Amino acid sequence: MKSSRWLCPLCASTLILLTSCQSQDKTSAACHPKSISSLHGTDPAGFQSIFNGKDFTGWAGPLDCCEIIGEAIVWRHDKGGTIYTQGEYTNFVVRLEFKLPPGGNNGLAIRYPGEGNTAYDGMCECQVLDDNYEKATGEKIDPRQAHGSAYGMVAAKRGFQRPIGQWNYEEVTVMGQNIKVELNGTMILDADLSKVTEFMHNRAHPGKDRISGHFGFAGHDDPVAFRNISIKRLN
């Protein structure tokens, strides 16, 4: 009789892989069937990928400010500019993963008109910023500049990012003039921008009441990376 502890070769190799994964970064490609894993798993019905991981098909703007490395959009050092989807969106949910360098700065362009400043001409720029930005750069920021904030209008909660060098998962829901931001499973922003009356530096945001526009990324010279980007239109 064979021992009850006997494992077939396939089972044994699977066990070795699972054991190895337990001691590795959970985003390691070796622990997933695809070369790029998704922290949020498979997208529910209705979501559509808006970045194919290979080229900038479906995107517009100064695309030379970025490059594609390992199926992720990565900003070139000292290159700024906003890239955005060719399609426009009214109400939607966008899911994505991002990775920051120390002091990294970027932003999500929400209902962007395709020109101008994302934070002022679009509905808003949803900040993508290292939570330790002040320590990394020595620069003081307004709370309304912290990660997840509706830039210059409403501050998000801080302290829910993963360590620098690890991928973070974020989900942003835009419905009417309300914007919600979930970071790594925690809601860090839930704001109705139509009710905002006080602005950073007393600078008004004329685009905050826009009802539609492009989705994109507002690069600020730092090699911030984005991957697994999908979006779902809402009624």
Q: Mean of the pLDDT values across residues 28-33? A: 32
109 shares its domain with 9? no
Distance CA 120, CA 135 (A): 27
201 and 136, same structural domain?
A: yes
pLDDT bin (cut points 50, 70, 90) of residue 38 is low
Q: 47 and 124 in one domain?
A: yes
The percent of residues in the chain predicted with pLDDT above 70, rounded, is 82
Q: How confident is the model at residue 6 (pLDDT cuts 50, 70, 90)?
A: very low
Look at residue 41 in the predicted model and tell me its pLDDT: 64
Does residue 15 share a domain with residue 91? Answer: no
Note whether 137 and 174 are same-domain residues.
Answer: yes
| CATH at 223 | 2.60.120.560
Mark whether 78 and 9 lie in a shared domain: no
Could you tell me if 8 and 53 lie in one domain? no
State yes or no: pLDDT of 30 exceeds 60.
no
Does residue 50 share a domain with residue 18? no
Looking at the fold, whether 69 and 136 belong to one and the same domain comes out as: yes
Cα separation, 93 vs 177, whole angstroms: 13
Domain match, 49 and 162 both: yes
42-81 pLDDT, tens per residue? 677 889 999 999 999 999 999 999 999 999 999 998 888 9
What is the pLDDT, as a whole number, of residue 19? 39
Statement to judge: residues 84 and 58 lie in one domain: yes
Strand pairing partners for 125?
A: 109
Domain that holds residue 228: 38-233
| Number of domains forming the structure of the chain | 2
Tens-digit pLDDT profile for residues 114-125: 999 999 999 999
Please check the confidence at residue 18 and state whether its pLDDT lies above 50: no
Do both 74 and 186 map to the same domain?
yes
Q: What average pLDDT does the structure give for the chain?
A: 86
Q: What is the reported pLDDT for 40?
A: 64
Would you list the DSSP string of the chain?
---TT---HHHHHHHHHHHHHHTS-TT-GGGSSSSS--TT-SPPTT-EES--SSS-TTEES-GGGEEEETTEEEEPTT-EEEEEEEEEESSEEEEEEEE--TT-EEEEEEEE-SSS-HHHHSSEEEEEE-TTHHHHH-----GGGSTTSBTTTBPPP-S-PPPTTS-EEEEEEEETTEEEEEETTEEEEEEEGGG----GGG---TTTT---EEEEEEEESS--EEEEEEEEE--
The residue type found at 150 is: A
The pLDDT of residue 11 = 40
**From the centroid of its chain, how far is CA 102?**
16
- Kindly report the CA angle at 193 between 228 and 119, in degrees rounded to 5? 60
Instruction: Give tens-digit pLDDT for 133-158.
Output: 999 999 999 999 999 999 999 999 99
